[in-house]
Chains A and B, each alone.
Chain A
C-alpha cells in the first residue's frame, strides 16, 4: 500500500491541444487506418469467389478509390499541420519535434530512463509532447513525406491533375525503378502499423502511470497538472531573477 496518506493533490486544467490539432490528429488517424487497410489489400488482394460478371462488380476499384481519396486527405491534412506548427500554441510548435538543442537530447534521455527503462528515481514532466515522442513524430513526418512522394508518384499516371504530376519526377530517387518505388511504399506501411501500436500503448501507459488525462486530452484538449508543478515552476523563475 502506498505510504503517503497525503490529501488528494489539486490539479489544474491546462488547455494543451487546440481544436485544429485535435481535428488534425483524428483525421490523420482515420486516413492512416484507411490507407493501411486498403494498401495492405492492394498488395495482397483477397481471393474472392464470385459467380458474378466483372461488369457487375467494382470491389477492387473501390479499394483503390478509398486509398487515393484517403491519400489526398492525409496529404493536405499534413500540410495544414505544418502551417499550424507556426500558427498554433506552444505545444503545437515545430520546436517540439526537432532535436536541435542540447536540452532536447537531455529530455529525450530522461524519457528513455523513466518511461522506457522504468527507472524509479526521478520524474519527468511534460505537458505537451515529451521529447522522445516529439522526436518520433518527427520520424513519422519523414515517413509521411516518403509515403506522399512515392504514393503520388505511383499515382501520377492515373491523374490528370498537375498536382500528382509534380511527384512523377520522384522516380529518380529509386533509380527510375517503379517496382522498387512501389515496394518501398508498401514496406513503409509497416512503420505506420508499428508506430500506431507503440503510440496507442504509450498513451495508455502515461494515463495509467501519471493520471493526467493523457487519453482524453485528444478529445477535449485538456490535461491536468498538479498544483505543485506550477508552484515549482514559479519558484524556479523567481530564483532565476
Chain B
C-alpha cells in the first residue's frame, strides 16, 4: 500500500485524480454540511478544508464485532464517502478492506503509526475482551488489548464505531463471558467520539469523519460522548408514526389490522422513546427506510447496554431477579395483594386485641350522647 507520498495530496486532489467533477465535490460538501447541521457558510468551510488539508491517515481496527459497521459505512449514500475514506488512499489499515495481509499489513500499520505519530485517527470497531489475558481476540499474535494500547498511544483522536466499541453490545450482555470491554474504559487521556448503533448509520459515520477533517477537532459531544449533531434527538420525536402514538392508536400484535394501518409500535416493544439516534431523519440505505418504517419497533441499538434492558418485543423490562415474564407491574401487583391481605388481617386482629379500648370509647361516647 502506497501510504506515504512525500507530499500528501489533499482530499480534493485525490478526488480529482479519481475523476470527480467540481460539481460532484460541492454536492458532497453540501450533503455533509446538511447532515452535520451546519449553516450555509459551513459548507464552504467543509469544501475549503477538503481542498487544502492533506488527508489524515486512518487506522481502522476490528476486534470483537460483526463488521456491520464497516458494511454500513461502505453503503453510505454518496460515492465520495467510500472513495475518500475507504479507498486505499485513506485507510492505511483495516482488516476487512485492505489489500495487504499478514506481515505486510502489520508493517503498513506500524509505518503509519511511526510516520504520523500523533496525527492519525484511530477507528475502533468492536469491543476488547479482557478475560483470560485477552485470548478471545488475537490479531497477528497479539491480543486486542495490546493492539489497542499500541495504536491508541500515537492517535490524534479515537472514533469508537458502533455499539461494540461504545458499550460492548451483545458480547458484553450479561454474563459477558469474555469481559468484552468498550474502548473508553481501556483508553484514557485521548479524545474519544462514540458513534453507537448496531450498526451506526453510514452517513452519520461519514459525517463524523468529515467533521474532524473539516474543522480539525471533534464534533460537539453529548454527555456520554456521542456527536450531538446525530444523537441529540429521540427516535420517538422524529418518528413519522408519532401521531398514532399521541392518539393512543397502537399495534397490538404484528399481524393485526393496526399493524397494517401503520399504527405506533410502542406496545410491541418500540424503544424509540428512550433512544437517541438519527434514524427517523437520515434513515438508512440512501434514505430508503428505517426499522420503524418497515414495521418493526426500534430496538434502541444505539443506547447503552440495550441487550440487558428487557425483551425486544415488550415495553416493560423484566424485573431484575424475578425471572422471565415478571415485569415491575407483575411484582407490584403481587406486593399490593400481599399488602391488602396484611391490612385485612391487621384490621381483624385489631378488633380482638384492641376490643377493650374501643369498647371503652364507645361506652364513653354513648354516655355523652345521652346528655345531649
Contact B309 A180 (CB under 8 A): yes
Contact A61 B246 (CB under 8 A): yes
Query: Pick the contact of A177 from B233, B305, B347 — CB < 8 Å?
Result: B305
The majority secondary structure among interface residues of chain A is: helix
Segment touching A, from B126-134, B155-163, B212-220, B350-358: B350-358
Contact A2 B267 (CB under 8 A): no
**B316-328 interface mask toward A, CB cutoff 8 Å, 1 = contact, 0 = none?**
1101000000001
Contact A198 B319 (CB under 8 A): no
Query: Pick the contact of A57 from B233, B249, B271, B339 — CB < 8 Å?
Result: B249
Contact A209 B358 (CB under 8 A): yes
Contact A48 B249 (CB under 8 A): yes
In the complex, A1 Cα to B364 Cα: how many Å?
12
In the complex, A9 Cα to B368 Cα: how many Å?
9
Interface size class of A (residues with CB under 8 A): 35 or more
Give the A-B contact count at a CB cut-off of 8 A. 155
Q: Does B223 contact A (CB under 8 A)?
A: yes
Q: Does A60 contact B (CB under 8 A)?
A: yes
Segment touching B, from A14-22, A24-32, A184-192: A184-192
Contact B274 A178 (CB under 8 A): yes
Q: Does A126 contact B (CB under 8 A)?
A: no
Known: A9-B364, A168-B223, A179-B317. A54 touches B306 (CB 8 A): no
Set of chain B residues within 8 Å of A198, measured between Cβ atoms: 339, 343
Known: A4-B363, A193-B332. A183 touches B356 (CB 8 A): no
Q: Does A240 contact B (CB under 8 A)?
A: no
Contact A8 B364 (CB under 8 A): yes
In the complex, A148 Cα to B321 Cα: how many Å?
25
Q: Does A79 contact B (CB under 8 A)?
A: no
Give chain A interface residues in 173-209, CB to chain B under 8 Å.
Answer: 175-180, 182-183, 186-187, 189-190, 193-194, 197-198, 201, 205, 208-209
Set of chain A residues within 8 Å of B248, measured between Cβ atoms: 45-46, 48, 57, 59-60, 63
Set of chain A residues within 8 Å of B24, measured between Cβ atoms: none
| Number of B residues with CB within 8 Å of any CB on chain A | 60
Q: Does B300 contact A (CB under 8 A)?
A: yes
Q: Does A6 contact B (CB under 8 A)?
A: yes
Contact B310 A190 (CB under 8 A): no
Residue of A nearest to B371 (CB): A8
Q: Does A162 contact B (CB under 8 A)?
A: no
Set of chain B residues within 8 Å of A210, measured between Cβ atoms: 357
In the complex, A84 Cα to B215 Cα: how many Å?
53
CB distance from A183 to the nearest CB of B (A): 5
5 A-B pairs in the complex with CB atoms less than 8 angstroms apart: A9-B364, A59-B248, A171-B223, A177-B304, A211-B365
With contacts A44-B315, A118-B349, A201-B346 known, what are 20 further pairs, Cβ within 8 A?
A1-B363, A6-B364, A45-B248, A47-B252, A47-B267, A56-B247, A59-B246, A60-B248, A118-B354, A120-B356, A158-B237, A171-B223, A171-B224, A179-B310, A183-B317, A190-B328, A193-B332, A194-B332, A194-B335, A198-B339
Per CB-CB distance, the 6 closest pairs between chain A and chain B, nearest first, are A190-B332, A179-B309, A59-B248, A187-B328, A57-B247, A60-B248
Interface residues in chain A, defined as those with a beta carbon under 8 Å from any beta carbon in chain B:
1-2, 4-9, 40, 43-48, 50, 54-61, 63, 116, 118-120, 154, 157-158, 168-169, 171, 175-180, 182-183, 186-187, 189-190, 193-194, 197-198, 201, 205, 208-211
